[in-house]
Structures are given as C-alpha cells and as structure tokens.
A and B are shown apart, each in its own frame.
Chain A
Amino acid sequence: MLLIECPCCGVKAEETELSPGYEAHLKRFGPGSTDEEFEAYMFARKNPKGVHFERWRHAYGCGKWFLAARCTATLEVFGTYPAQVGEPPADIIEKIKARRPDWKGYK
C-alpha cells in the first residue's frame, strides 16, 4: 500500500485516504488549438516505466489536490509538492536524481 504525505496538511496518508488523478503538469489545449495538440492533451498521456509525476487528492483528509513524484516500476515515492506549480520543483528533482542517477530528467 502506498504511503504518501499530503503537502497541504502534512498528514502521511495511506492509499485508501487518497484518490489518484493521473498525469500532473498537463497543459490544457482548448478551442483554437490544433487536432494534434488537442489529441495529445486528451489522450497521449505520459506512461513511463520509472519516474512519473502525478496528481493525487487527499480525498478523506483535507480534500486538497497535490502532486507527487513516484516510480511506476518500484512504487517508491520520491516526494510530494503543492499543485500550484508548472513543473516539478528543484528539490524534488534533486531527490529523484539522488535515487535514480540515470534518470533523463523532466521533460
């Protein structure tokens, strides 16, 4: 079972307290965008075997959305951070690099 710390209220929550929300840092493409952009936004989700950034909601706790960096191959959680950012913060990147030296970085 995953244990993920909610950065909003500080509770170390177990999986049943949380709802998963899939890929983080999605850029929304709406009216006026190309078919390719809209398709990529709607369906072409990142699906790495390894480091992944995703959304979670502390559903049975404080109720807030937040973001997490997690390894999909081992279920290791590298860290969590508030949702109001466009890309993963530097300290999270550092933590991941320390654990996964051959990780190609966030793109």
Chain B
Amino acid sequence: MSHFSRLWRWQVGNFRREAAEGREVGTDAPGRDALRDGGHAMKRYSVFAIAREALRHHAGWERAWASPQPKASYDAIIVGAGGHGLATAYYLGKNYGITNVAILEKGWLGGGNTGRNTTIIRSNYLQDSSAAIYEKARSLYETLSQDLNYNVMFSPRGVMMLAQTHHEVRGYLRTAHANKLQGVETEFITPQRVKELCPILNIDGPRYPVLGALWQARGGTGRHDAVAWGYARACSAMGMDIIQQCEVTGVRSEGGKVVGVDTTKGYIGTKKLGIVVAGHSGQLAEMAGFRLPIEAVALQALVSEPIKPCMDIVVMANTVHGYMSQSDKGEMVIGGGTDGFNNYTQRGSFHHIEETLRALIETFPIISRLKMLRQWGGIVDMTGDRSPIISKTPLGNCFINCGWGTGGFKAIPGSGWAMAELMAKGEPGPLAAEFDMWRFKEGRFIDESVAAGVAH
C-alpha cells in the first residue's frame, strides 16, 4: 500500500471514529479539543485541519510538544525519551492519572535506538511471557494512530522468518505450536508459499535453500520517529514536561529510596524514578548503585537507493544474518547481526555490512547491483537470555526498563503499558512479572536467544 493511500485510510478512519463518537467532525477549537486542561493545548490533526491550513498558508500549525524548563520536583521522572520511556510516561498518565511527570533526555527525543531501528513488528516469540508482552504491544500498535491522533503508519504487511536449515525448521515448528497455545496467530508455510508471497526471493540456495518459513500475517512495520513523536505530543498535552538536552549525571537517595537526580540542568527531585535508557542502562544503574547483566554493543542498519515496489512484506533470514523490507520511499531497508564487542560509538564496522549484504544477495539476487545510500548504528543493550528487564531495583522507588537489545521497537506500547503499571503500583502486573532482574540469579531465564539470535 502506498504512503498516500495509507495516510488517506488513516484520515478516513479518524473521520469515521469522530463521527461515531458523535463529535463535530474535525473541529479543533482551542480549549475544546485540547486533550486536557492545563496541558499544552493540543489541536487535533485531521483531514479538515489539513484542508483549512492549506487555505491559510499553513500558518496555523503549532508545535507538537512544549519545551519547558524543569520544575523543582515531580511525582515521577523517566530518564530517556526513547519510545519505551515516552510510552511509559503516556500510560502513567492515561491508565493511572499520574501526570506530574518529567521525561529527561540527554539528546533529542527519539534520537536513540527508537530513531535508528528497522521497525519490524511481530509477536511470534517462543516463551509465554515474551509472546504475551509482544502481542500486547502489537495489538496496541493496531489502534495507536487513532489513540494518539498521530499517524504512526503501522503497516501490518506480514513478517516472514525463513527456515534455511533443518534445525531452524524444527525450531519454527516448535514456535508455531507454542504460538497456537498462546493465541498468537502465526503459521509455518511451505517454500512454494514463500515464493508466492515474495517472488524476488531465491528459494533454491545455493548454500541455504529455503525449507519453509514462520509467517505472521499481522506483523509488519511502523514509522519509528512517528511513534516517539506521537507519544511525546500526547504526553505534552497531558501536562508532562519533556526536557531535552538534559543528561542525568547522578541518582540521589535517602534511606534506601530515590529522592532525585542530578542533571546538566541542575538537581530535580522525584518520588519515583524510571530508568529507560537502552544502551546506557549500565551507566544509570551504576549511578543508582547496582549492577545489571547487560552489555552494550553496536547494531547497524542501512538503506539502498530507492527502487520501484518489489517486496511488500518483511523477510528475515536468521541463518545467514540478514533481513530486509521496502520503505514507502522505495529504499530497501536492511539489517544484520550485532558487532561482537562492547561499543558505545553508534558506528558499525564495514565488514558487518559486507557480511549482511553477502548473505542477502544470495537470498535476493535482485539487489546485487543496488547502491547503498546510508548506514548507521545504534547501541543495543543485550542481556544474558536476550529478553528484556522490567523490574524493581535494589534502590527503593527506582524502576528499570531495559535489555530490549536488537528487538524492542515492536514492544514499545506493551513495554510502556507494563512499566507504567509497575511504577504506579510499585509492583509488577502480569505482563512484567517474569521480567525482573533477579531471574538471572535464580535461573528463571526467558530464553529467546535460540528463537531469535539475530536483529529483529
């Protein structure tokens, strides 16, 4: 589906929803349409707003979120304005009415891994606790554009994970069975069906012929920046403070409980602290006085020059370490495995690009003459069992959400939902319960490394 037709369907969807809710369609009179009194008054986006602005030289658009100075203290502070931090803040407000919240970001919001990933969304994981949280996230993605009044361009185009060894066939059959029991819709398909769904794929080898695939028709992609921006806009409208260029440099506590954070914009007090900083989790944990089972490594991605539409699904080839989809602009979006050493530089190494492309050319001969346009890296936070941590910490009222590693974009809404519950109640709900940081000591691993040992 083209970018335009998706935008159009989204607008029509808004129209229908507003009409169904009996509202005057498309009005945006200030005050009335602000999501909340006292917050950054937010005008609704709609097809009518576009038409009206077209008639007045687009002079009426406002900033999507406010840019305030920090207050002396808050009920809750979230460190890190990536997708997970912003979603946590959003559901704190939306589900628990906690809006005296600041989100502190050392760079710009969405500038971390949230703005650097290849946007694959799927939920067909092996373990029950993973399937639950990723499926929650996927289902929230389905209505996220409407919920946030911001087009996140969720595109459930289908995600295919190729089985190219007998070992993988067995693994994916096992996952398909597990998913059936978990109520996650997914199926194991034949090589013929693979070829039908993706004609540019070479299923005959030479090294690794396609033996089948795990296919999740309701998986797909979304627009990563828009996910961060949409949550940010909604948080700002609820009266929360998103403070960019504000690095947390220390965590202060009294009597075993957190009382505030030192930042490059001064000390800020807080009753509760949520640390959601992906690759920098180890640093923040050290400030808060504990250690995490996490290592930071670089994961990179690249895009080709734009070409005509040739592939309308996402394909992942985990044996050869490569995956690919086509963006709405026509670029082939490509990713591979992580670099094998600790790294904070947000750069990748050339030989990894070489490896990834070598693998993909074998599977997609059509891309062999494509020029690659851009390449970039993000610092991913890898845990021992390749599953995330959503947990209380040894420091009272301090909570952590990290370890999403190479695959957390797809989890953003579900993770924010679970983290907000943890922060609001002080105890994890069913979604987060298994993901505590003490599972490593107790040997309760949520082992997904076998199911998805590659960027995903």
Contact = CB atoms under 8 A, between A and B. Distances in A.
B158 interface: no
A40 B294 CA distance: 11
Given A1-B350, A39-B441, A43-B384, A20 B293 contact: no
A22 interface: yes
Interface of B is mostly: mixed
Interface string A46-85: 0111001010000000000000001011110000000000
B282 to A, nearest CB: 4
Contacts of A44: 291-293
Interface string A7-42: 000000001100110100000000000011001101
Given A43-B293, A44-B293, A15 B344 contact: no
Contacts, number: 60
Interface in B362-392: 383-384
A40 B343 contact: no
Contacts of B295: 22, 45, 47
Given A42-B384, A45-B293, A45-B295, A72 B349 contact: no
B282 A47 contact: yes
B146 to A, nearest CB: 40
A2 interface: yes
B5 interface: no
B340 A49 contact: no
Interface in B270-314: 280, 282-283, 291-296
Given A1-B349, A2-B349, A73 B291 contact: no
B347 to A, nearest CB: 8
Interface of B: 280, 282-283, 291-296, 340-345, 347, 349-351, 383-384, 440-442
B441 A36 contact: yes
Interface residues of A, number: 25
Contacts of B340: 19-20
22 contacts: A2-B349, A19-B340, A20-B340, A20-B341, A22-B342, A35-B442, A36-B441, A39-B441, A40-B291, A44-B291, A44-B292, A44-B293, A45-B293, A45-B295, A47-B296, A47-B342, A48-B282, A52-B342, A54-B342, A70-B341, A72-B343, A72-B344
B440 A22 contact: no
B344 A49 contact: yes
Contact of A1 (B341, B342, B351, B384): B351
A73 B345 contact: yes
A42 B439 CA distance: 13
Contacts of A49: 280, 282-283, 296, 344
A35 B441 contact: yes
A44 B345 CA distance: 22
A77 to B, nearest CB: 11
A36 B290 CA distance: 13
Given A36-B441, A43-B384, A54 B291 contact: no
Contacts of A45: 293-295
A75 B294 CA distance: 19
A22 B341 contact: yes
A73 B293 contact: no
A54 B292 CA distance: 18
The 4 residue pairs across chains A and B that have the minimum distance between CB atoms: A43-B293, A20-B340, A47-B282, A20-B341
